[in-house]
Structure 1
Amino acid sequence: MSRILLALGCLALLVAGVARAQEPVIPNFWDPRSRIERPNADTIGPIRFLATNDFPPFSYRDRRGALIGFDIDLIRAVCDVLKTACAVQTRPFETLEKALRDKEGDAVIAGLAPDPEADEPLLATRPYLKVPARFVTLKETAFDPGAPAGEFVGTVCGSAHQAYLDRYFPDLNVACFQNMQAALNSLQEKRLKAVFGDALRLSFWLHGESSEACCHFAGGPYLSDRYFGDGLKIVVRPDEAELKNALDYALREVYRKGTYAELYLRYFPVSLF
């Protein structure tokens, strides 16, 4: 699934409005035993964040043109912890790394994954969110991915999710589709037992109008850095280790204070986990 299609799909469902799931699970990506020193506020200074404006629910424009989203509110929370002024500039995704290296901003928060093979690899904070894979199935049917009974599971052809099923669920009968919507349509038509894919898109589909409240998550969540990436992080220049460490500290504090949970519930109406 392309980044643009994911953004458009999520935006359409956000505009339509979605119901909050009961008793959601709030993920925690911070080790309570880790020690991160509090940064010196005097050495941090104002932070200029670079983001996109077309990646809901993380950063996008509302009907009035205001920039909103999970990442945008997370920036405010981080800067409140660091007691520093922050600004957000939006640019097309493909221009963000160059803008950062050219010092047009200090940090990128847009799902940018640094290339470890680059001559001067960018630095990244610890992940503030990982998107797992999940199965969705019809509410009236029972599905156990660990004990298949000849059922067919749909996923997107050639995707990381298909590769994951082939590796870890070799006994499942996998039917691949050209896109996720085709697989979900087949599930609603009861031609599949389940569909496996990106939990972010699936969570919004579950509570969107097109699902007609047919389905729910079953099994998982499944996390894999190899197949699904190592999560969303804030990225800074190679020579900004002090800023990177300060952002790590702030992200952990945002979680410890409960602000992260508030933002997660606001932007993810059904927990990915």
Structure 2
Amino acid sequence: MSTVDSPRQPAPLKDPSATVLGLHRGVLELKSFFREWDQVVFTFALPIVLLALLGSLFQGVYEGSTVTAAQYLVPSMIAAGVASATFVNLGIGIGLDRDDGTLKRLRGTPMPRSAYFLGKVVMVLVISIAEVVGILALGVLLFDVTLPTDATRWVTFSWVFLLGVVACSFLGIAASSLARTGRSVSAVMNLPYVVLAFVSGIFYTPVSALPEPLARLGAVFPLKWMAQGFRSVFLPDTILPQEIVSTSWEHGRTALVLGAWCVGGLILCLATFRWRGRRER
């Protein structure tokens, strides 16, 4: 007695993981970002133009070191560029998505919610890397900044950069809920950014010139520690007397504060994030 083999049933298709969807979402976010040329220009131009202007104004060499005021400013502006690309850019983008109903529509799709945020983080990570390259190129060409050849300094740069991107991204996502409408989100995000840049010593050369109350306030937030970490990478140790703490670069404390803000920023996101605008019920 012969039997007829039944045709094999095709294996059921698996849904793509949240990671895969997030990476695809990141590509879409990048395409959308680079289509808006005015947004691209102003995002990259702000820290670069500020570096060019302030670097031309600040003159002189610090006592006991060969570092010029302009060279001291370059790593600080890298930190400011990363914060602008993450905190400000994310906060504005998510605020606009909430206002025009994009978040509401995405919430009703099968896509995991984490994929949306992963896509945003992929976008700001790429933008931050491009921002760093642009600022370093300007520093090398105009202000004779020397790139380090020691691999340990680049390792330090990597973990400061990654922790800074994550911490500022979480804070940007959380702060996006502060704006009532899409028209106000830009002002809501830029005001704290500018204030933090001042109290963190971004526009001061050296940081030790900051008034003590402002220095203490800036030490609470991640921007100050990002800037200090980047200065430890691109500047020689002879510049340490110009820092607020002149005995070491405090890498352990930098990692602790930035890591704490990563955790705290995530908690803030979970506690405050809204998918709907405040005017929606």
Coarse TM-score class (shorter-chain normalised): under 0.3
Q: If the length of structure 2 is used for normalisation, what is the TM-score?
A: 0.25
**Greater CA radius of gyration, 1 or 2?**
2
Q: If the length of structure 1 is used for normalisation, what is the TM-score?
A: 0.26
More strand by share: 1
